[in-house]
Amino acid sequence: MSGPKHFYNALPAFIVGAIEGLIVILAIFCFLLARGVDAGLIYIYTGIAVVFIAGLLAVGAYYTRKEEMDNSGGESKILKIYQSLDIDDHLKKAMVDDTLQENKVWEKEWQEGGNATSSLMPKQYALSVFWGFLTGGIIILINNYLVELPNYAALLIPFLLLAILGFYKYKLSNQKPVNGMLLISLSGMAAAIGAWYAGGLF
């Protein structure tokens, strides 16, 4: 697999991970800050959260991708099941042909539906999500070190990054980019503000 093509195929999964990292870690940071937790401890807790959650997402992404690949390549399983049935050979053949045709249609629609990650193996897909989340989380930590909350200027860079990532996420999946830009950036800000007020209440 060529370098540029691999990068393009991995980009959607990386973007998804980065979006999650930005939103989740920003929300955790805001919650802990509103709770009055010491700044040094906040960085420790959120740093641990970045690595832990990135790992969980990577494991989930691995098995999700593995399941998708199993579903898209199930001809041999179907053949074994149908060939073991004690029924008329013509009926058996018709059942196999019909099921395989449905599988091919599903796989074609899935791969042509803007899913650039369709060629990624489970490990590659999981690593793309992992590094994306890690990148998003680290950006939040660095950003808040430079511009400390509750200064609302600290939300500017996460907002802009979420808008850009939302735009490209929707663009790569053949959806309306502007919708993705608005939905993801505003959702991220809503999660951060909600976490801040939740931290102040409890």
What pLDDT digit, counting tens, does each position of 169-188 carry? 888 878 899 998 999 999 99
Distances (CA, A) of 19 to 25, 81, 87, 150: 10, 42, 52, 21
Our count of domains for the chain comes to 1
Spatial distance between the Cα atoms of 42 and 54, rounded to a whole number of angstroms: 18
Using the predicted structure, report yes or no on whether residue 145 has a pLDDT greater than 70: yes
Supply the pLDDT for residue 106: 44
Give the domain extent around 96.
Answer: 3-201
Residue 202 pLDDT level (bands cut at 50, 70, 90): low
pLDDT tens digits, 117-129: 556 788 888 999 9
Using the predicted structure, report yes or no on whether residue 116 has a pLDDT greater than 90: no
pLDDT tens digits, 47-100: 999 999 999 999 998 888 787 776 655 444 555 555 565 555 666 566 556 655
Residue 110 pLDDT level (bands cut at 50, 70, 90): very low
DSSP string, 117-134: GGG--HHHHHHHHHHHHH
